[in-house]
Amino acid sequence: MSKCPALYTLADVVVNFPDYDGLPVSLFEAAACKRTIITNNLPAYREILGSAAFYGSTPKDVVGLAEAMRSVLAKSPEALATELETNYALVAEKADQLQCMDGMIRTYESLIMPGQNKKI
């Protein structure tokens, strides 16, 4: 059994500051554990997370990251609680791993075996 949920619940904020535009599972895990997320303002993150995260500016922009952290710290506990419920609902709606994997496999099958009914 994973220790991640217990570790996430020990954190007040989860900070993810990547250089590239790939969405890590850790952000969905943090949202599922109702943790505040601070991350970079990358297109895939905005598309998937929407308003469920606080965004710094761009990769390597430590000033933007600091501003996002200050923004979180300035919010009332009630406002953060509402946002964490939004995060949780987002995960419930979008983070179905089996559905995502099934969609990815169908995409690969259509690309590598066009016109054939073969399964990977």
Digit-coded pLDDT (tens) for 41-80: 888 777 777 777 777 777 888 888 888 889 888 989 998 8
Q: 2.40.110.10, 3.40.1010.10, 3.40.50.2000, 3.20.20.80: which CATH number matches 4-95?
A: 3.40.50.2000
**Model confidence, pTM:** 0.69
User: Does residue 118 register a pLDDT over 70?
Assistant: no
| pLDDT-based confidence at residue 1 (cuts at 50, 70, 90) | very low
Residue-level pLDDT at 107: 79
Whole-number average pLDDT of the chain: 80
Distances (CA, A) of 100 to 4, 93, 97, 117: 21, 12, 5, 20
Q: In terms of C-beta density within 10 A (0-12 exposed, 13-18 middle, 19 or more buried), how is residue 56 classed?
A: buried
Map out the domains of the chain as residue ranges: 4-95
Measure the CA–CA gap between 112 and 64, rounded to whole angstroms.
41
Q: What per-residue confidence (pLDDT) applies to 74?
A: 92
Enumerate residues 6+ apart whose C-beta is below 8 A from 67: 56, 57
